[in-house]
Structure 1
Amino acid sequence: MVELLAPVGSKDALIAAVESGANAVYLAGKMFGARAYAANFTQDELVEAIQFAHRRDVLVDVAVNTVVDNSEFEELAEYLRFLYHAGADAIIVQDLGVAKLAREIVPDLPLHASTQMTVHNIEGVRFLKELGFTRVVLSRELSIEDIQYICQNIDIEIEVFIHGALCICYSGQCLMSGMIGGRSGNRGRCAQPCRLPYTLVDGDGNNVLAGGEAGEYLLSPKDLNTIDLLPELIEAGVDSLKIEGRMKRPEYVAVVVDTYRRAVDSYLANKNDFVVDLVEKKELAQIFNRDFTEAYMKKRPGKFMMSDRRPNNRGVLAGRVEKYDAKTKLVTIKLAETLNQNDIVEFWVKVGGRVSATVTTMYVEGKEVTSALPNQKVSFAISSPVRDHDRAFKVFDAQLMERARSFFNQGAPLRRYAIDVKVTVSIGSPLKIEIVDEEGFFGNGETDFVAEKALKRPLTEETIKKQIDRMGTTVFALRKLTCNIIGEVMVPMSEINEARRKAVEELEKARMIKFVRPESVVENNNLIKNILRNKKRNHAIKPQLVVNVDTIEKVRVAIENGADIILFGGDNFQHSALKDSDYHKAYLLAKEYNKKIVFNTPQLLKQWQMKGFISLIESFKENLPDAIAVNNIGTLHMIKNHFNVPLQADYHMNVYNNLAIELLASRGVETVTLSPELNFSQIEQIADLAKCELECLVHGNLSLMVSEYCAMGSFLGNLDKGACSKPCLKESYFLSDRKDEKFPLVTDQYCRMHVLNGKELSMFPHVPRLSAIGIHRLRIEGKYMTPAKLAKITRLYREFIELGEEHPLFKEDKMDAIEKNITRGHYFRGVL
């Protein structure tokens, strides 16, 4: 049976999810969850939430899906032990270090891989299965064909998102929120920069979409809605259907879960006649939507996936303005949807933005009404003028909200388990109650009172039923009562009630046995003690200079100006695929100058791209590089199976702590590029403890986002009409934000769009410090640089490594002369 998994950010949302039909819920405590701004749960509330769900046979997955700093592991260890004892059914994890710790101290607590792990191919799933994960949440960029291939070729639970907000960037690959606002999505505090306005400009700063059909929210996607695709997803073999929305109110949870529950049940009951009711579709839109999309499930939708004119809820079209009376401030609209008293309507005004009104009194043909139907003309008061033909959207449906609230404000359960009850009583014996529920669990209870002969009113079946039927806030409902009353007996009602309570309590205990796990928690955690308390080294070294490039010309430039190591290939910012001959030339050039060369690999590799990539890496065997860099766990798994060569974990793998380094080292990784979200203090602590070589990014325009969506192709290249005209090859483009900061856009060989930081990372003055704390490699990101600029930057870093603070620019205090429009990244501020 496929699982319906619901989001829970509060107690009311939990009740709404369970009562509307979720098989499982996912939620978080006050720590380590990727939705830090949700209400979330205290530890006492978590215990209550888990017990509440388990009594109703609903599983609870707890999100522990942020990256974790070394200093947090002691607290995390206690939290994981708490979750195990509290009865959590699984934890959802992003950080490989968290996974390593969990396997050590709570080995029987199931691990689910968060979508933040960016698992987008079968190799990534295989890697996680080998680590002991029991479920993987796939990236939202996959097609149904991709999903089906993974489901049918590996024995592990697969979870996919089916409804809710989308990230424009691959989850787990976004550094934009942290870089521009200091609030890291990887740490659970995303500031949603994708929902802000941007202008697409050319190299001269001209708005290339001015006067066109595009809005200003160029990174804001519509909401995912797969209600019509449920049959295909279920038949593909998906184990869990996941609804996004831990930040959403409980009414949203109730409506969305209820709608999908009925749709799933309908399909499973009658696959040949599956149809989603139009009313249900409208309710999904009414409760919250930015318009809907199926994302990449069927195709690459381009601009049609984007909510570029409005980044928040747009409601449902209620109608258009027929007239506005300035004297009475009454607007008249011709309805496209039913409108009821207390609904809220928002007008999209051509000039001046939005006008909102709560409908307290409304009129049809001059008569006051409480409800109006489609095609009727209705009038009501609004606070500001609107114009003829302005659109009106119903953004709050009072009746729908009332129905939604009925799922969580009743006090007593809505969904109950049917029970059959047998009552046996005779003079001289206790009254006995036997309960069996619809799943076959038993509970028994009997009175302390010994039944006596009745003097006035003997016990009847009707009297017993009244007492047995009082199930109150329990999750049970009487289906069948069998009474075996021998003789005219008397038993006090209070005694019958107490016997019923005992039987129900025993039944509840029987039902909860399946959630009991062995006492396997490790209290003395040697992992933390051995790795995070014992310093390995703390001495200055002379770092090697690494330059990351994607053209042969830049390979030569980097070598001639002092690079020790060339990192070549992977994603090509020239929008063309590198051939095996390119790697061969880069290899020969490096070896000619006696330099090391590392072959890079793409940040992302979807299933259909695997065949070409495998063919490419097979060619590496002719000129085996000094190492191969990997950017995701799928590539790591695949390369390890093809080569006996040192591996490097690149910065897209979000390595944030020493436990993650330990795990990667056990899988053949010898060099780790640390997360650019770490600050100096964190890097220094990691360097003190790390057993492998460490690399830090020191210069370049870092990639902040990577997306299957391309703004240039979508709005300039006619991507929606078939083949893209590739405007990215004819002009340079940037996203300009509200502060006129410009973020360069580049496309790789797979037509993915990379959003780069407009400010160039520069650590010129801090090379001596990086050397002092023991960083082995300093890396320049040179793909976006011209060869001339790359030559200058490489030469300067070579000099700073050699001379340190003896460099003339240090001594003469002229560092400002070589640094313009730069950033120090997170080296000094870190991230929240």
Structure 2
Amino acid sequence: MVELLAPAGTWESLKAAVESGADAVYLSGKTFGARAFADNFNKKELQKAVDFAHMRNVAIHVTVNTLVDNSELSDLADYLVFLYSIGVDAIIVQDLGVAKIACSVAPKLTLHASTQMSVNNLDSVKILEKMNFSRVVLAREVSLENIKFICRHTHIEIETFIHGAICVCYSGQCLMSSMIGGRSGNRGRCAQPCRLPYTLVDEKGTDLLQNADAGQYLLSPRDMNTFDIIPKLIEAGISSFKIEGRMKKPEYVAIVVDAYRKKIDSYYKSVSFQEKEVKKELSQIFNRDFTTAYLLDRPGRKMISDSKPNNRGLLIGRVQKYDKQTYIADIKLTGDLNKGDKIDFWVKIGGRVNTNVTELKISGKNVESAHNGEIVSIKLPGHVQEHDRVFKILDSKLNEKAKAFFNSSDPVRKLPLDIKITAHIGEAVKIDMTDGDELNSSYTADFIAEKALKRPLTYETTIKQMDRLGNTIYYLRNLDCDIDDSVMVPMSILNDIRRQAVNILEQKRLQRFIPQETAISDTWKQSLLPVRNREKHAVKLVVAVDNIKKLNAALKGGCDGVLFGGDSYSHQSITEEEYTNAVLLCKNADTPIYLSMPRILRQEQSGVAEMFFRNLSAEKFSGIYVHSIGQIEHIQNLCAQYDIKLPIWTDYSMNIFNNAAIKFLQEQNISGCMLSPELNMQQIKAVLKCSSLPLEVFVQGNIELMVSEYCLPGSFLGSLDTGKCSAPCASGKFYIKDRKNEHFPVVTDQFCHMHVLNGRELVMLSHVPDLCELGLERLRIDGRYMNSTKLHETVKLYREVISKGKYHKIFQNDLVENIEGTNFTRGHFFRGILSND
């Protein structure tokens, strides 16, 4: 039976999840979790949460899914040992370094690969399977057909999201919050810039959607809702259904879990329920409109909640009449409205007005509730217009239903308990218990049963005492009394043996989850963080390009290597002829050429890499850069198949943040890696001091902030949702403009992935001499968004500065400041990002 996995950011949400029917709950400690703004759980609370859940046969998965800095690795190791010791069922991991340390200090700790690993094909699943991961949380962008394929071809568990908020960018690949605000989603502090208003403009700043009936929230996805296709998802072979919402209130958790519990049970057990009412509750508790995302198709603008980025509630009527003097509105209802509800008026002029309903009137009389077809009068705090729509954003009755799952001290979900009482005159009184999981306990009292003088013990008296299970997790199913007819046992003895036996049983329930083996000590430090003496060497300048014209510009500028191919920013496929020509040009220039893999390859695009080997003579390249753990597996298999030795480097999207991750890559026979662009200068120095592999960093270019299956121009200008996009991205340039008038370039690659770039170009020219002293192997210029003239000039200048260092003439008379200009960024080299704390 598929697992129903629920979120918990607070104790109330944990209780709501468990009591409303979750099979497992995922939550976070105070550190290393990707929802730093949730309340989360300290160590004492984690232990309590694990015991609470395990007592009820519910698993606890702890998110350890942020990128971890070298300085935090010791604390991380201690934390992982603690999690193992309290019996957590699994940890959810993004950082390969976290996985590496977990395998070192607590090898029996179960690993789940986070959706932030962007796993979207079988190759990635297969390599994680080899790494002893027991489960993979697929990217939300994976289609139902591809999920079926993956499930059929792997032995480990596959988990997918079924409900809640979704990211517009591939999870784990978004740098937008980080680069523009210093709050990194990869470090648990995403500021959700995707929920802000934007305008789609061209090079002249013209609003391209002013006549397109589009709202402002062009990057804000609707919430996922798969309620109607749960049977298809079950039949696909998915092991776990995941509900998003660690930042949501416990009422939300209770209603959503309850809804999907009923839907899942109806599939397996043919249990009927009021499906229409449950779907209404799902919509009422929170929605931005709903979508099935990419499970069934590529929905385009139908996936975006462009008119409102937060809860829109349920439409319950329209304003029929409004009195500007009294502020009283008459509303013709199309749904129910109760005192205590909260409603939102979508006002044509002046935005929105919302109010808590404290008084309802029908024909001048106060009422508690009103229903479809009735006209109610409500006093408002602001002005509205006739015909304005009215949405209920909080339903008081639904909230009361939700609170019943977590407000009571008595459990909602209880296990059956069978009890046998043995009481014979002259013998000690004994109790035996067996619960619904076939766990047993026995307890014998010190009291010796006596012959009754007045009131002998009866079955009726006994069952009354045994049924006093209070706020335990049990209810009495059967009572067997083996008692003499005239025996006497005080009520206090019966109550005591019941309590003692239940306590023994509860301890047995918890004991099942306590690990039998202890974790390992600090021996990991010697292998993962050895201090190395790095020999100084000339730093190489590598330039990334996506067409021949730019390749020629890079070669002319004097680069030491070319990174060719991958994602084309012109929406044009890079042909085999262009790859062949690129190899020839670099050979003639005696310059190494490295093959760049595309950043995202869906399952149906997995043949792209094979084409390189089959048709392009991959051995002519000096190496290959990969963007995902699955691409490592795939390329290595192809190298073996074609008997080619090809150095493999990992690119920046692998989010390499610490030396534990680098050690892992070394064990996978990786030749070098590009560091995360979120590291600052001091962190880079620390990583270099212990690195077992050559390293590379960005120094110039428009850094990608997002990569997405959602294409903004295609969705709103190309009718993508019809299935036949007119490809507006192929002509002209597009930008999204934010509230501060910053323009972020939008480009679309040959696979129709949208890439949002930083509008401020990264420029580290004046700091190149310092970077050359660190011990880096390579510096990279990303020239894909530059024209060939600028690229040539940029490469030439960097090449000269690398050669001459601080004695180059641009460092005299502040020339370098004039060259760099003003509209640029240093990225995170000096400001860094907020910590995990």
**TM-score of the pair, normalised by structure 1:** 0.98
Aligned to 1:681: 682
1:705-764 deviation digits (Å, cap 9, x = unpaired): 000001100001111222111111111000000000000000001111000000000000
- Superposed, 1:649-688 pairs within 5 Å as 649-688=650-689
- Equivalent pair of 1:61/1:91 in contact (CA under 8 Å): yes
AA of the residue aligned to 2:268? L
Aligned partner of residue 168 in structure 1, secondary structure? coil
Pair 1:334 & 2:368 matched? no
2:478 to 476, 480, 487: 480
Which whole-Å CA distance do the structure 2 matches of 1:601 and 1:573 have between them? 14
AA of the residue aligned to 1:826? H
Aligned to 1:364: 362
Which whole-Å CA distance do the structure 2 matches of 1:480 and 1:514 have between them? 25
1:305 to 303, 324, 328: 303
Which whole-Å CA distance do the structure 1 matches of 2:292 and 2:778 have between them? 43
Which whole-Å CA distance do the structure 2 matches of 1:182 and 1:682 have between them? 15
Which whole-Å CA distance do the structure 1 matches of 2:577 and 2:96 have between them? 35
Aligned to 1:599: 595
Aligned to 1:636: 632
- Equivalent pair of 2:212/2:716 in contact (CA under 8 Å): no
Aligned partner of residue 211 in structure 1, secondary structure? coil
AA of the residue aligned to 1:360? T
1:391-447 deviation digits (Å, cap 9, x = unpaired): 010011000001101100111101000111111111111221111122221111222
Aligned to 2:341: 343
AA of the residue aligned to 1:197? P
AA of the residue aligned to 2:833? V
1:134-168 deviation digits (Å, cap 9, x = unpaired): 00000000111011110011100000000000000
Aligned partner of residue 408 in structure 2, secondary structure? coil
Which whole-Å CA distance do the structure 1 matches of 2:15 and 2:619 have between them? 60
Aligned partner of residue 617 in structure 2, secondary structure? helix
Which whole-Å CA distance do the structure 2 matches of 1:249 and 1:809 have between them? 57
- Equivalent pair of 2:610/2:638 in contact (CA under 8 Å): no
Aligned to 1:550: 546
- How far off its partner does 1:539 sit? 5.2
AA of the residue aligned to 1:787? S
1:826 to 817, 825, 828: 828
- Equivalent pair of 2:609/2:635 in contact (CA under 8 Å): no
Aligned to 1:224: 224
Pair 1:400 & 2:415 matched? no
* Root mean square deviation, CA, Å: 1.2
- How far off its partner does 1:274 sit? 7.8
Aligned partner of residue 221 in structure 1, secondary structure? coil
1:30-84 deviation digits (Å, cap 9, x = unpaired): 0000000000000000000000000000000000000000000000010001001
Which whole-Å CA distance do the structure 2 matches of 1:615 and 1:216 have between them? 41
- How far off its partner does 1:610 sit? 1.3
- Equivalent pair of 1:434/1:444 in contact (CA under 8 Å): yes
Pair 1:528 & 2:509 matched? no
AA of the residue aligned to 2:461? T
Aligned to 1:262: 262
Cα 1:21–1:622 change in 2 (3 A) is closer
2:576 to 576, 580, 588: 580
AA of the residue aligned to 1:184? S
AA of the residue aligned to 1:580? E
Aligned partner of residue 309 in structure 1, secondary structure? coil
- How far off its partner does 1:454 sit? 1.0
AA of the residue aligned to 2:740? K
Which whole-Å CA distance do the structure 2 matches of 1:510 and 1:619 have between them? 62
AA of the residue aligned to 1:701? N
**Percent of aligned pairs with the same residue?**
51
- Equivalent pair of 2:262/2:273 in contact (CA under 8 Å): no
Which whole-Å CA distance do the structure 2 matches of 1:750 and 1:307 have between them? 24
- Equivalent pair of 1:178/1:185 in contact (CA under 8 Å): yes
Aligned to 1:174: 174
Which whole-Å CA distance do the structure 2 matches of 1:220 and 1:509 have between them? 47
Which whole-Å CA distance do the structure 1 matches of 2:576 and 2:728 have between them? 27
- How far off its partner does 1:286 sit? 0.7
Aligned partner of residue 517 in structure 1, secondary structure? coil
Aligned partner of residue 515 in structure 1, secondary structure? coil
AA of the residue aligned to 1:602? P
Which whole-Å CA distance do the structure 2 matches of 1:328 and 1:279 have between them? 36
Aligned to 2:45: 45
- Equivalent pair of 2:174/2:706 in contact (CA under 8 Å): yes
Aligned to 2:378: 380
Which whole-Å CA distance do the structure 2 matches of 1:697 and 1:327 have between them? 62
Aligned to 2:642: none
- Equivalent pair of 1:584/1:623 in contact (CA under 8 Å): no
Which whole-Å CA distance do the structure 1 matches of 2:618 and 2:748 have between them? 29
Which whole-Å CA distance do the structure 1 matches of 2:47 and 2:146 have between them? 38
1:489-529 deviation digits (Å, cap 9, x = unpaired): 11121111111112112222333343132223102x22223
- Equivalent pair of 1:539/1:773 in contact (CA under 8 Å): no
- How far off its partner does 1:580 sit? 2.2
Pair 1:756 & 2:754 matched? no
Aligned to 1:621: 617
2:449 to 425, 448, 451: 451
Pair 1:766 & 2:767 matched? yes
Cα 1:301–1:600 change in 2 (3 A) is same
Say which is worse superposed, 506-515 or 226-235, in terms of deviation: 506-515
- Equivalent pair of 1:267/1:274 in contact (CA under 8 Å): no
Which whole-Å CA distance do the structure 2 matches of 1:167 and 1:636 have between them? 25
AA of the residue aligned to 1:448? D
AA of the residue aligned to 2:501? A
Which whole-Å CA distance do the structure 1 matches of 2:436 and 2:691 have between them? 56
1:510-558 deviation digits (Å, cap 9, x = unpaired): 33343132223102x22223332x3112454321010000101111110
Which whole-Å CA distance do the structure 2 matches of 1:74 and 1:238 have between them? 35
Aligned partner of residue 355 in structure 2, secondary structure? strand
Say which is worse superposed, 164-173 or 579-588, in terms of deviation: 579-588
Which whole-Å CA distance do the structure 2 matches of 1:528 and 1:706 have between them? 35
AA of the residue aligned to 1:736? K
1:286-334 deviation digits (Å, cap 9, x = unpaired): 1111110010010000000000110000011111110111232211111
Aligned to 2:496: 498
Aligned residues: 828
Aligned partner of residue 381 in structure 2, secondary structure? coil
- Superposed, 1:89-108 pairs within 5 Å as 89-108=89-108
- Equivalent pair of 2:166/2:221 in contact (CA under 8 Å): yes
Which whole-Å CA distance do the structure 2 matches of 1:619 and 1:638 have between them? 16
Which whole-Å CA distance do the structure 2 matches of 1:18 and 1:50 have between them? 11
Aligned to 1:562: 558
1:360-394 deviation digits (Å, cap 9, x = unpaired): 11111222211111111111111111111100100
Aligned partner of residue 512 in structure 2, secondary structure? helix
Aligned to 2:795: 794
Aligned partner of residue 496 in structure 2, secondary structure? helix
- Superposed, 1:84-163 pairs within 5 Å as 84-163=84-163
- Equivalent pair of 2:32/2:66 in contact (CA under 8 Å): yes
AA of the residue aligned to 1:685? A
Which whole-Å CA distance do the structure 2 matches of 1:618 and 1:522 have between them? 46
AA of the residue aligned to 1:207? D
Q: Which runs of 5+ in 1 are unaligned?
A: none
AA of the residue aligned to 2:114? S
- How far off its partner does 1:572 sit? 0.8
Which whole-Å CA distance do the structure 1 matches of 2:108 and 2:476 have between them? 37
AA of the residue aligned to 1:293? T
Aligned to 1:29: 29
- Equivalent pair of 1:157/1:239 in contact (CA under 8 Å): yes
- Equivalent pair of 1:3/1:239 in contact (CA under 8 Å): yes
Aligned partner of residue 669 in structure 1, secondary structure? coil
**TM-score of the pair, normalised by structure 2:** 0.98
- How far off its partner does 1:94 sit? 0.2
Which whole-Å CA distance do the structure 2 matches of 1:282 and 1:555 have between them? 57
- How far off its partner does 1:483 sit? 1.0
